[in-house]
Every structure is written in structure tokens, then in C-alpha cells.
Amino acid sequence: MRLNHRFDGPADAPVLVLSNSLATDLDLWSANLPAWTSTFRVLRYDQRGHGGSDVPPGPYSVELLGRDLLALMDAVGVERASFCGLSLGGATAMWLAVNAPSRIERLVLACTSPRFGEPEQWLDRARIVRSEGLEAIADVVLARWFTPRFRSDHETEAARFRAGLVGTPAEAYAACCEALAAWDFRERVGEIAAATIVIAGADDPAVTPEQAALLADAIPGSRLLVLPEAAHLANIEQPEAFSAAVNQHLGLQEAA
């Protein structure tokens, strides 16, 4: 299965892998790249069923997404890297950190959780998308991705992400919803050994700061950073603060 991907940054630099949220593509990280590509060789990719990647039939699982990423790393010759995953991408990174720890240098878990609420909400969303399409849920999802202020002040950018959401293949989106319904990693996150920072948006209704704190508490030695005035796509609403936090965690700058 082919995953759409690209590298940015010096060919001989340490690798930073970026893993996307549900219904976004590798453009999710465009605002953050300038802060990272002078020091890292950044590997971005689209999850299966998203962006320019292949759209195989379901079922999908977080384990399957993790194995996709391992296969991509093998194919492009990346033995070990630091990881930054957001939401679904964070779940992918958690799975990788426990099941392939030798491939992980440092870990950034953003707006993510070892369990994303009750399974039924995801199964309901999958049913709606299959019967009515992504347009039926687009405005509700956008309200979770961005604060009202951001949607008002950055209408063009919010509209661009909405278009990407609606353009995601419905069956792939539904299959990922079912993967999240089955995802429960609460008993395993304590096995994560990589140095980890958990980043949350203060106004995120999908993964609240309280949920993020529970994740940080469960991972030995990890720390929590809550970004103000940010919802679920915190790296978009607060790109400078998010990028700086990643750089600090990866050892590129001192804490303020």
C-alpha cells in the first residue's frame, strides 16, 4: 500500500516524523515547518485513505496505521526518528512507541488520547458518513477543530480545512472512526519509554486538558503543556507556541 509522503529539510539531519489527525493531510503541518526544517529532516505523510495515499477497503485499526508507518520508514530508510502525532496521529505514535520502541527517539503527543470517548459516538459518526457523506458532519467537526475566534479571524484557512475534510473519502473516514471506536490503549501507555511531551489545547472539546493531564500522568517522566486559545488543531491556532514547544522538547532551545 502506497502512503503519500515528502521530506523537507537537510538530508543529513535527524529525522522528525509528523503523523496527521483524522481527515487532514500532510498540509496540516505547513505552518510549523519553518521552525523545524533548518535542523530536522521532516517526514510528513498521509494516513491510509487520506490525501494522496491509497484508499484500501476497511476495516482499519490503529495497529494497522502504525504498521503502515513502520513500512514507510523501512521503505525510505529511516531507522530511528523523533515523532510528533496529533489526535489520530498521536494514537499511531503511541502504538509505535510501545510496539517498536527502538524506532523512537523522542515523542510529542498532541491533542490525543489513549481512548477517545465512548465507542458508540464513533460508530454513529461512521454510520452518518456512510449514509449522508462528510458534508453532514463538516460544521460540527470544524467547531471542534477551531475556536470561534479563529474561525472568525481566519475564515479562508478554516474553509480550506473544511474542504479537506469534506474531500476525504467517506469510506476511509468511516473506517478510521471505527478504528478509534476500538482504540483503548490506557493499559499500555505506561510502557512508553521515550521522552514524551503531551500538548493540549485549552479549548479543545475533543481531548480536554483534563484528559491530556491523565495521559501525561500515565507516561513515566512525561510533561504536559496546555496552549491557550487553541482547540483540537492546536498546531494551527498557535503555530509559534506549538513549534517552540516541540523544539524545546527535542533539545533545540532552552525553556523560556
User: Considering the domain boundaries, does residue 238 fall inside one?
Assistant: yes
pLDDT confidence of residue 251: 86
Kindly report, residue by residue over 25-59, the tens digit of the pLDDT.
Answer: 999 999 999 999 999 999 999 999 999 999 999 99
Find out whether 133 and 125 touch, Cβ atoms under 8 Å. no
Range of the structural domain that residue 230 is part of = 5-116+184-249
- Which amino acid is residue 91, in one-letter code? A
User: Considering the domain boundaries, does residue 80 fall inside one?
Assistant: yes
Kindly report, residue by residue over 168-213, the tens digit of the pLDDT.
Answer: 999 999 999 999 999 999 999 999 999 999 999 999 999 999 999 9
Written as one string, the DSSP assignment of the chain is -PPPEEEES-TTSPEEEEEPPTT--GGGGTTTHHHHTTT-EEEEEPPTTSTTS----S---HHHHHHHHHHHHHHHT--SEEEEEETHHHHHHHHHHHH-GGGEEEEEEES--SS-S-HHHHHHHHHHHHHH-GGGTHHHHHHHHS-HHHHHHTHHHHHHHHHHHHTS-HHHHHHHHHHHHH---TTTGGG--SEEEEEEETT-SSS-HHHHHHHHHHSTT-EEEEESS--SSHHHHSHHHHHHHHHHHTTSS---
User: Considering the domain boundaries, does residue 90 fall inside one?
Assistant: yes
User: Considering the domain boundaries, does residue 139 fall inside one?
Assistant: no
Among 155, 88, 145, 86, smallest CA distance to 115 is for 88
User: Considering the domain boundaries, does residue 131 fall inside one?
Assistant: no
Asked if the model's pLDDT at residue 96 lies above 80, the reply is: yes
User: Considering the domain boundaries, does residue 135 fall inside one?
Assistant: no
Asked if the model's pLDDT at residue 253 lies above 70, the reply is: no
8-state DSSP, 115: S
Structural domain total, the chain: 1
User: Considering the domain boundaries, does residue 177 fall inside one?
Assistant: no
Asked if the model's pLDDT at residue 256 lies above 80, the reply is: no
For range 11-31, the mean pLDDT: 97
Q: What CATH number is attached to the domain comprising 230?
A: 3.40.50.1820
Calpha distance 236→251 (Å, rounded): 22
Q: Go through 112-146 and write b for each residue having 16 or more CB atoms within 10 A of its CB, e for each that does not.
A: bbbbbeebeebbebbebbeeeebeebbeebbeebb
User: Considering the domain boundaries, does residue 237 fall inside one?
Assistant: yes
